[in-house]
Amino acid sequence: MSSIVVLISGRGSNMQALLDAGIPVAAVISNVTGAAGLAIAEQRGIATRVVPHKDYASRESFEEALAGQIDAFSPRLVALAGFMRVLGPGFVDGYRDRMLNIHPSLLPAFPGLNTHERALAEGVKLHGCTVHFVTADLDHGPIVAQAAVPVRRDDTAASLAQRVLKQEHVLYPRAVRWFLDGRLVIKRGTVNVKGNDAQFVFDDSA
C-alpha cells in the first residue's frame, strides 16, 4: 500500500501540511493523549491512535507497542512530524530507509531541542530546517532536503521559528512525495533525487 503513517506529539502543523498536499496518510499516531494534531486528523477522517509512553515501564516496551500500531497500517513510510520521543536503535532499525523526520535547523548544526534560541545565541546568519532519514544517531541521518531563511537583526526565537515553520510546510510534503514516487536514492549516507529536483529552498522574501 502506498501510504504513510505520521507520528506526532503536539500541534501537528507539519502533519496538516502533508494532508493539505494530498499525501496519502493511513493513520496519525501520537505518544501524547489529547495532542492537538489528533483532532485535526480526526476531522479529516484519518485514523488516529494514541500510544502513551507514560503507560510503559521501559522504552523498549513502548516502542514495541508503537511499532505494533504502525505496522497494522502497513505503511511504506513513517514520517515523524514533531514527535518528541528519542527512538532507540532497535525501533529505528525496523524502519531503516523508510522513516523521515523534519528538524528545525540546518543540520548538522543544532541537533536536539531549542534550535531557534541556539541559532540566535550563535549569531548565525542563515537558519532553516532539514528533512532527513532517521538513524539511531539523533538528528544525524542522511539529509533529503533543506530550506534556509535569513536571520534578521530583530529576530526573536518566536519570529525565527515562524519563518522556519513556513518553510517546513513546503519542504516536508515535497520530500515525502519524492519518497513515495521512488525518487530518493541513498548512497554512502547521502541522498539524491532521481531527475535532479532542487534539494534546497532559500527564501529571503519574508
Active site residues: 103
Among 5, 7, 12, 110, binds ligand GRF (CB under 6 A): 12
CB of 11 to ligand GRF, least distance (A): 4
- The dihedral sign for the CA sequence 54, 60, 61, 67: positive
What torsion, rounded to 10 degrees, do the Cα atoms 2, 91, 172, 203 define? -160
Residue 150 near ligand GRF by CB under 6 A: no
- Gap between the Cα atoms of 119 and 190, Å rounded: 24
Residue 13 near ligand GRF by CB under 6 A: yes
User: What backbone torsions phi and psi does residue 35 show, to the nearest 5 degrees?
Assistant: -55, 135
Question: How many other CB atoms are there within 10 angstroms of residue 189's CB atom?
Answer: 11
Largest Cα–Cα separation, the chain: 48
C-alpha cell at 200: 534546497
Give the range of 4-12, 23-31, 51-59, 70-78 binding ligand GRF by CB under 6 A. 4-12
Number of residues that bind ligand GRF (CB under 6 A): 15
Among 67, 165, 180, 201, binds ligand GRF (CB under 6 A): 165
Q: What is the DSSP letter of 140?
A: -
Interaction residues for ligand GRF, span 101-120 (CB under 6 A): 102-104
CB of 15 to ligand GRF, least distance (A): 6
Question: Of 86 and 185, which CB lies nearer to ligand GRF in the complex structure?
Answer: 86
Chain CA centroid to CA 136, Å: 15
Q: DSSP 3-state assignment of 113?
A: coil
- Gap between the Cα atoms of 183 and 193, Å rounded: 5
Question: Of 71 and 137, which CB lies nearer to ligand GRF in the complex structure?
Answer: 137
CB of 69 to ligand GRF, least distance (A): 19
Residue 81 near ligand GRF by CB under 6 A: yes
User: Interface mask (CB under 6 A) for ligand GRF, residues 40-79, using x and -?
Assistant: ----------------------------------------
- Gap between the Cα atoms of 197 and 146, Å rounded: 12
Site residues, ligand GRF (CB under 6 A): 8, 10-14, 37, 81-82, 102-104, 129, 165, 168
